[in-house]
Amino acid sequence: MKTETGNEAMSIITAGTICEGKLRSPGSIRVEGRIVGEIVAAQTVSIGSSGEVEGNVSAKTVTVGGKVNGGVLAQEKLVFESKAVVRGDVRAAKLVIDEGALFDGKCIMSDSKGMPPQMSSEVKPDLRRPDQK
């Protein structure tokens, strides 16, 4: 989605902000605060170093620099930056994990043509602690 100035629309959840529920955007979303619930964006989801998400994330491109406890679906590219902590199953066409990132879950790789438009039942988060599995 383009604004009147031609720039892509970006929704920003700033540090210190807590949102509960389902967050949907026809553009992109940047999270520096805390989201408890599902995030779905048509373009990109960027979770900054102070960002936390308790729930599933779905977008064309997803970049995680903070924490995610839930499943992640990236139709094109998924990036875990060096300070990322991701606990949940992921599905992506391309996956980049920087040195230092923590990933605890399963990964399904497939090209963007084979991607479902939403989180499939295959990519459900298992939020039990390791000692409970």
Which single residue is written with the structure tokens 């390791």?
130
| 8-43 pLDDT tens trace | 689 999 999 999 999 999 999 999 999 999 999 999
In degrees rounded to 5, what are phi and psi of residue 16? 90, -15
Domain boundaries, the chain: 10-108
pTM: 0.79
Which of 86, 83, 30, 24 has its CA nearest to residue 54? 86
Type of residue found at 33: G
Beginning with the edge strand found earlier in the chain, give each strand of the sheet holding 85-87 in spatial order. 18-20, 34-36, 52-54, 67-69, 85-87, 102-104
| 105-115 pLDDT tens trace | 999 998 755 55
